[in-house]
Amino acid sequence: MTASNNVGDWLDIGPMSQISPGNARTLPVRGGEEIAIFHTLDNHFYALVNKCPHKQGPLSQGIVHGNVVACPLHNWNISLRTGEALGGDEGCVPTIPLKVDAGRIFLLRDAVIPSRAARKAA
């Protein structure tokens, strides 16, 4: 995870209580990829681009177990920590650095908001 202590580098997306354990919620980004934020049953938070590397299934809708999510379309298991497909499957989805501070969830701004060039292309 990119370490940054500069407050302005982090995007506050609200209290952690918005996501109950075992669930995920989504954060659409205009001009960028939708992000899925996961709350695991052992109380860790992870953020991934909400697209399975296989067929772009919405990972936010999958079953969360351990620090893994099973894609709802074809049951690929994706590591929430690394974004990599597990087992015999190959592929990787980008992860977004996330921190929890004082009960709120923060995402690294640069990883959420696409660069101006990418936005123009979009």
Contact footprint for another protein (CB under 8 A): 11, 13-14, 18-23, 25-32, 35, 37, 41-42, 55-58, 61-66, 68, 70, 72-73, 75, 77, 112-114, 119
Reduced to 3 states, what is the DSSP secondary structure of residue 116?
A: helix
| Least distance from another protein to the Cβ atom of residue 41, Å | 5
| Least distance from another protein to the Cβ atom of residue 109, Å | 9
| Least distance from another protein to the Cβ atom of residue 54, Å | 11
The nearer residue to another protein, 17 or 90, going by C-beta atoms, is 17
| Least distance from another protein to the Cβ atom of residue 91, Å | 17
CA 79/CA 13 separation, integer angstroms: 22
CA 104/CA 17 separation, integer angstroms: 8
